[in-house]
Amino acid sequence: MIILNAFFAALGQIGDPKFRSVLLRGIGLTILLLIVACAVAIWFINMLSGNEISLPFIGAVPWLNDVLNYSGILLALVLPVFLMMPVASAITSIFLEDVAQAVEDKHYSSLPPVHKIPFGEALLDGLSFMGVLIVANLLALILYAIFTPFAPFIFWGMNGFLLGREYFTLAAMRRLGRENARKLRAKHSTTIWLAGTLMAIPLSVPLVNLVIPIIGVATFTHIYHRLSGLNS
């Protein structure tokens, strides 16, 4: 019940100007990073295929250049889809402060001001989170291949755990500090994982996954306040 109430409260605030501001910044930076990532990957492939490729004992193999060129085109199509979720999620975490503050301004206005997380620290957390998401999803490809019928559930469960862990900690540490936020997260790990899974399900839909991180941050801000109220 806590999860659904928090989710619908967050959904009801989607028109908030601060939400839109984070969404526009997030979309802009996500697109920019995806373009850079694709450009670097294609440049690297073109560099490899620039000269005629020779193999030991075989000699020149002209068709390998064509394979590499077609691989570059395929990579340019697939890479944005694969990276969109971790990049969008990480970028939104950098701007968490604005979303969380908008939620508190509307629903918890009696609370005292918080000590803002320095931008450098938020940036480092966001980049670290993006790295974890990318590595975890790359490793999960092995599980998808072995347990193909269960691939969607593996994706939702794994990313739900990571999203819940990150977003709840970031929302809670604004008022509790990092260490106390981790303790509260550990105490309510099942609730947080379930809430993260709710966020992860629509993350598998391209373009929709640009909006979901904002809803996720807002949802976990509500969840933090409800869980901290249970502990008081």
**Mean pLDDT value of segment 47-66:** 55
Question: Is residue 71 in some structural domain?
Answer: no
Residue 130, domain member (yes or no): yes
pLDDT band at 90 (very low <50, low <70, confident <90, very high): confident
Return left, alpha or beta for 105; rule: phi > 0 is left, psi -120 to 50 is alpha, else beta: alpha
What is the structure's pLDDT at 191? 93
Name the band, by pLDDT with cuts 50, 70 and 90, for residue 79. low
Residue 51 has pLDDT above 60, yes or no: no
Q: Is 48 part of any domain? A: no
- Tens digit of each residue's pLDDT (9 = 90 or more) over 144-165: 889 989 988 998 999 899 989 9
Cα–Cα distance, 96 to 129 (Å, whole number): 13
Q: Give the mean pLDDT of 208-218.
A: 83
pTM of the model: 0.78
Contact 211, 191 (CB under 8 A): no
pLDDT reading at 194 higher than 90: yes
Segment 182-199 shows an average pLDDT of 92
Burial class (CB in 10 A: 0-12, 13-18, 19+), 208: exposed
| 27 occurs within a structural domain | no
Q: Which phi and psi (to 5°) does residue 171 adopt?
A: -70, -40
Q: Tell which wins on pLDDT, 50 or 83.
A: 83
pLDDT in tens, 11-50: 888 888 888 888 788 778 777 877 777 777 677 766 665 5
Q: How many CA atoms lie within 13 A of 61 on its CB side?
A: 12
Q: How confident is the model at residue 166 (pLDDT cuts 50, 70, 90)?
A: confident
Work out the percent of the chain whose per-residue pLDDT is above 90: 18
Average pLDDT, the chain: 80
With 0-12 / 13-18 / 19 or more C-beta atoms within 10 angstroms meaning exposed / middle / buried, residue 4 is exposed
DSSP 117: P
Give the number of other Cβ atoms within 10 Å of residue 89's Cβ: 29
The pLDDT value recorded for residue 190 is 93
Does residue 211 contact residue 155 with C-beta atoms inside 8 Å? Answer: no
* 141 within some domain: yes
Phi/psi of residue 60, nearest 5 degrees: -65, 140
220 lies in a domain?
Answer: yes
How are beta strands 54-55 and 59-60 bridged, if at all?
antiparallel
User: Phi-psi bin for 113: left (phi > 0), alpha (psi -120 to 50), beta?
Assistant: beta
Total domains in the chain come to 1
Average pLDDT over residues 45-67: 56
Residue 58 included in any domain: no
Give the pLDDT band of residue 185 (cuts 50, 70, 90).
very high
The reply to whether 54 falls in a domain is: no
pLDDT of 184 reads 92
Using DSSP's 3-state secondary structure scheme, residue 112 falls into coil
**Which residue range(s) make up the domain with 200?**
2-20+83-231
Dig out the tokens for 109 from the structure.
């206005």
Mean pLDDT across 112-116: 81
DSSP result, 69-109: HHHHHHHHHHHHHHHHHHHHHHHHHHTHHHHHHHHHHHH-T
Give CA separation, 225 vs 3, 63, 77, 188, 228, in Å. 12, 60, 41, 13, 5
Which pLDDT band, with edges at 50, 70 and 90, does 59 fall under? Answer: very low
